[in-house]
């Protein structure tokens, strides 16, 4: 004798039948069918009866017009609630964004952003790199390490041979250590 399904059993059966109908792997579909059949037999039904019980919206004329209208009203009410919730969420997110933007302006981030934007959009001018004393020291040391003569190093870097000798003496102690 068929027993009516509880809400939990109905939901479980809906999920199992959903897998049975939509699975792309044959073994998965067969396992879902076996599980649905087992659940239906436990309640004294065939698989077809259990499907009708689990999916009353697929009634094929079993539900009268009043019940169908009630289901449609419920679905429309649910959809309207979802639209309202979505609109409220979007409005709250927009409000939070505007408040964050105002807070950023208050802290002075707007001016920083404007200045950064101006720097990004300014025409690209070639930047001249002006080497400092440290750069000169590293260049001389590198040339000497590569075996370039003192005179040629002085000529390439644009310094006197005395400056090159000074760097050579300073780096000689580092190489020995």
Instruction: Give the span between the Cα atoms of 55 and 19, in whole angstroms.
Output: 14
Record the pTM: 0.34
> How long a stretch of residues is the chain?
177
Report pLDDT digits (tens) over 103-119. 887 877 767 777 777 77
Beta carbons within 10 angstroms of residue 138's beta carbon: 13
What's the token pair of residue 28?
A: 């998965």
* Whether the Cβ atoms of residue 42 and residue 30 lie closer than 8 Å to each other: no
| Lowest-pLDDT range of 9-23, 57-71, 76-90 | 57-71
Average pLDDT, integer, range 68-91: 87
Beta carbons within 10 angstroms of residue 27's beta carbon: 8
Report pLDDT digits (tens) over 136-177. 899 999 999 999 999 999 998 889 999 999 998 988 866 554
Kindly list the domain boundaries of the chain, sorted by start residue: 7-58, 64-107, 133-176
* Whether the Cβ atoms of residue 29 and residue 20 lie closer than 8 Å to each other: yes
**Stretch (H or E) spanning 5:** none
List Cβ<8 Å contacts ≥24 apart for 15-24: 17/50, 17/51, 17/54, 17/55
Instruction: Give the span between the Cα atoms of 119 and 144, in whole angstroms.
Output: 41
User: Which class for 52: exposed (0-12), middle (13-18), buried (19 or more C-beta within 10 A)?
Assistant: middle
pLDDT at 28 over 80: yes
């Amino acid at each position: 004798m068929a027993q009516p399904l509880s809400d939990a059993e109905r939901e479980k059966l809906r999920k199992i039948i959903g897998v049975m109908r939509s699975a792309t792997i044959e073994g998965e579909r067969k396992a879902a069918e076996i599980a649905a059949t087992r659940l239906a037999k436990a309640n004294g039904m065939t698989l077809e009866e259990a499907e009708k019980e689990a999916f009353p919206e697929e009634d094929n004329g079993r539900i009268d017009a009043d019940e169908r209208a009630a289901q449609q009203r419920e679905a429309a009410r649910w959809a309207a609630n979802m639209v309202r919730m979505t609109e409220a969420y979007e409005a709250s997110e927009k409000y939070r964004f505007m408040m964050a933007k105002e807070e950023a302006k208050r802290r002075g981030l707007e001016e920083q952003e404007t200045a950064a934007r101006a720097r990004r959009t300014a025409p690209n001018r070639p930047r001249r790199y002006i080497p400092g004393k440290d750069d000169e020291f590293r260049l001389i040391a590198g040339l000497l390490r590569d075996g370039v003569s003192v005179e040629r190093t002085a000529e390439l870097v644009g310094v006197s041979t005395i400056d090159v000798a000074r760097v050579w003496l300073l780096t000689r102690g580092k190489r020995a250590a």
